[in-house]
Amino acid sequence: MSETEVNKYRQPDYDIDPIFINRWSPRSFLEKEVPEKDLMSVFEAARWAPSSMNKQPWRFILARTNEDREKFHSFIMEGNLKWCETAPALAVIISKKEGGSHAFDTGTAWGYLALQAAQKGLATHAMGGFHKDKAREVLGIPEEYDLHAVIAIGYQGEKDQLTEDLQEREQPSDRRPVKESVMEGSFK
């Protein structure tokens, strides 16, 4: 989707870099492999996210071969599986349960990853709809790690590749006004 098309759905309240408006989470992916240097650059960006006491609690388990993607498909819920099967790369984002901010820090790493992907012309879509216990078992994830999301990474495909119900949802979502998220002085 072009920047002009995205602007039909999103208008910032204040001046920000266009990457924040243009990055969104499509469901249509091309079955086109992402070059190693571009794929690894999104994880390199995540590497540089800030974290409490520099603990860097996040880890990514990457699937980009058919065999590995099939393993991931075994624990992704049906509603997500019907669109993410074409994504050339999937990653599970987890965090080591140390300190009270591991999930916060890992979310920051996801944000860095998503913005770098957008800068590289890649689409990302994070999914909470997966069976965490099965993913833990299939991927051998130790108990000291929390599982947060599965991320589809690749090149955006055409809307008409999706089922009709998903085509209706294949557009950037708006956000509430900033004044509804920022409170000054106390909770209001």
**Residue-level pLDDT at 52:** 97
Helix (H, G, I), strand (E, B) or coil at 89: strand
Helix-strand-coil percent breakdown of the chain, rounded to 5? 40, 20, 40
DSSP state letters, 36-74: HHHHHHHHHHHHT---GGG---EEEEEE-SHHHHHHHHT
Mean pLDDT by 10 residues, the chain (188 residues): 73 92 94 97 98 97 97 97 96 96 98 98 98 98 98 96 92 92 93
Tokens (6 digits) for 114 = 């998503």
Residues present in the chain in total: 188
pLDDT at 10: 86
State the pairing for strand pair 89-96/145-154: antiparallel
**Domains of the chain, start order:** 26-168 (3.40.109.10)
- Confidence (pTM): 0.93
pLDDT at position 2, please? 65
Burial environment of residue 173 by CB neighbours within 10 A (0 to 12, 13 to 18, 19 or more): exposed
Nearest CA-CA partner of 84 in 94, 71, 69: 69
Contacts of 147 (CB under 8 A, 6+ apart): 92, 93, 94, 132, 135, 136, 141
Nearest to 173 by CA among 9, 4, 8, 2: 9
pLDDT of residue 99: 87
